[in-house]
Amino acid sequence: MNAELLIHAAGPCVTLQDKGRYGYRRYGVTPAGPMDYQAFAAATRAVNASVAIEISLGGATLSCIGAPLAAAIVGGHFDCRLDGKKLPSACRFPLTPESLLTIRAGESGAWCYFAVDAHLESTKILGSYASHTRSGIGLRSFTAGDRLLITPLLTPPIEYERIEAQWLSENKTPIRIMLGPQQDYFSPQSLQQFLTMQWRVGAHSDRMAYTLEGEPLTHLRGHDLISDGATMGAIQIPGSGLPFVLMADCQPTGGYPKIATIIGADLGRFAQYRPGDSLRFELVTLEQAINARYLLREALSAGASFTRQDTKFSDLGLLSHNLIGGVISASDEPDQPK
């Protein structure tokens, strides 16, 4: 049985993403993949999917055609409404063909993931569905009128359920970084400034890089570097002295000195910062970064919990009192369910 997802409206940079396209960096191919892997993982695991639609601050309106689906939305605090009724910012719910789902930027967060229990009827490119719009690999950004052909997995009917996962905790503690690989391009004073300053996410931030605003840093010996490999999270300092953080769509090589790199466990949290948001960095050791990575992996394999709501989420104010309670088993692939 076939069904379709219909995009009624989409802001800029609403794209299809899976985990990313790995193994081809050496040929100039950007991995792409989700900006916030943790939110992506929560949404896709909730409905046993491997792909999600990544929704930017521009928002999107969607519906399904042909069959009812189990759907999930996770990521930041977006304003998500089903036929005008507000949904929690991380939840799983039945999406029926007559319903309209509207996702708009809410109180916080920059990326929201929408996933359904269906196989995508599309072709993988170099082993992945991930969209990298700059190089034209994968589907382009969605626009109004786009349809995605899918085959539903026919999950038994689900309830309206809130998704809670330890790995989604949104603390505003400093973003943890490791120095390098090119910290020796900067004086100790510049390094100190970088670590102690409050930085603000700049307006020109997108899937390729986030710019940071603050007091410019000075280079010790120029800002031109012989291009070398670059990855998401690396913080480059160009001639202007203002950092830019490479994100999911970054080129596989870069020619500016990388003063520091955001650790893997904090990448998703950093991606959810919006232009105008302020943040600080905190220096950690390799051992601390690996420990944070270990804790994240443990949390991911423990799975999320799903808390049933009475019926539709009628009113956000009532929501917190509306819980029936009781944790329903997490559906978690490939890690073991609880």
Partner 1 sequence: MIANTPRFLDQGEATLVVEFGDSVDPEINAKVLFLDVELNSKKVSGLQETTPSYRSLLICYEPLELKRALLIEIIEEILSKLNNFPPMLSGRVWTIPCCYDGSFAEDLTEAAQALSLPKEDISRLHTQPSYRVYMYGFAPGWCYLGGLPQALSLPRRLTPRSPTPNGAIMIGGGLSLIGTHPMPTGWYVIGRTPERLFSINRDPPFLLSPGDTVLFEKITLARFFDLERRVMNGEIIAKMADSQ
In the stretch 159-178, what mask flags binding to partner 1 with x, by CB under 8 A? -------------------x
Site for partner 1 in 88-147 (CB under 8 A): 125-126, 134-137
Choice between 198 and 227, CB closer to partner 1 = 227
Number of residues interacting with partner 1: please give it, by CB under 8 A. Answer: 41
25 binds partner 1 (CB under 8 A): yes
Cβ-based neighbours of 330, under 8 Å, separated by 6 or more: 45, 302, 303, 304, 305, 306, 337, 338
For the sheet with 60-65, list strands across it. 85-87, 77-82, 101-108, 60-65, 3-10, 147-152, 118-120
Choice between 52 and 267, CB closer to partner 1 = 267
Piece of 26-34, 50-58, 83-91, 307-315 that binds partner 1 (CB under 8 A): 26-34
- State the Cα–Cα distance between residues 322 and 91, nearest whole angstrom: 14
234 binds partner 1 (CB under 8 A): yes
Tokens of 13: 């940079």
Site for partner 1 in 279-298 (CB under 8 A): 286, 289-290, 293-294, 297
27 binds partner 1 (CB under 8 A): yes
Contacting partner 1 (CB under 8 A), which of 228, 282, 315, 333?
228
CB 203, min distance to partner 1, A: 21
Residue 275 φ/ψ region, left for φ over 0, alpha for ψ in the -120 to 50 degree band, beta for the rest: beta
Closest CA to 92 of 145, 141, 45, 25: 45
Cβ-contact 134, 249 below 8 angstroms:
yes
SS3 188: helix
Cβ-contact 240, 260 below 8 angstroms:
no
CB 176, min distance to partner 1, A: 10
Cβ-contact 152, 118 below 8 angstroms:
yes
Choice between 26 and 321, CB closer to partner 1 = 26
CB 326, min distance to partner 1, A: 33
Choice between 31 and 109, CB closer to partner 1 = 31
Choice between 6 and 195, CB closer to partner 1 = 195
Beta strands per DSSP E along 66-215: 69-74, 77-82, 85-87, 91-95, 101-108, 112-116, 118-120, 147-152, 161-164, 175-179, 199-201, 209-213
Site for partner 1 in 254-283 (CB under 8 A): 258, 261-264
- State the Cα–Cα distance between residues 36 and 68, nearest whole angstrom: 27
Contacting partner 1 (CB under 8 A), which of 181, 202, 238, 241?
181
231 binds partner 1 (CB under 8 A): yes
Q: Which parts of this chain interact with partner 1 (CB under 8 A)?
A: 22-30, 125-126, 134-137, 178, 180-182, 226-231, 233-234, 251-253, 258, 261-264, 286, 289-290, 293-294, 297
